[in-house]
Structure 1
């Protein structure tokens, strides 16, 4: 089920980018349909206790986040999540899947 949510996230991101370039407005209608389906899907997940949690801009929590990479980002203090690769989910307050994230780090702590 979480893979379906991941696919929705990718579809929404890609279609929103395409909608910005579409003068006819047809892609915007498609995006609206995808968003409605996405909301319905997440409503069903919510009804069974599965919830997506926010990670972007948060300090890293080893119980909630799996760090895939570190980047030097002077706009953020070390240990702050700068990009979410895959969203994290809980079920009844237990981690179902940790979020896969990229965090900011000092340039001298990043391993090659």
Structure 2
């Protein structure tokens, strides 16, 4: 399966080496790494990251079938945006995987409920 990695670092001084190691552990025997997308100096709340935008565009054009990231928050820190991205990517036939954490919609929905309940207290 054609697979890509996505890394993000909030500052330009940070490295993505640990994210790369985690993603490499997730690469299956039938997976072929065909690309790496990296954003440096961007918050996980920022939706206009250049490599994230390119990742979504390439997902739509069928360049790969799987995205692996070290953890879901690397893609988005906002759970609602994460669910939106997951649904969009899945429409293109692309699977999301994380080395640490889950892209399971039930888990993400539970996270939203917990987050909202904390805000109302």
Please state which band the TM-score falls in when normalised by the shorter chain.
under 0.3
**TM-score in terms of structure 1 length:** 0.27
Larger RCO (CA within 8 A; separation ≥ 6): 2
Structure ranking higher in strand proportion? 1
Query: Rg bigger for which structure?
Result: 1
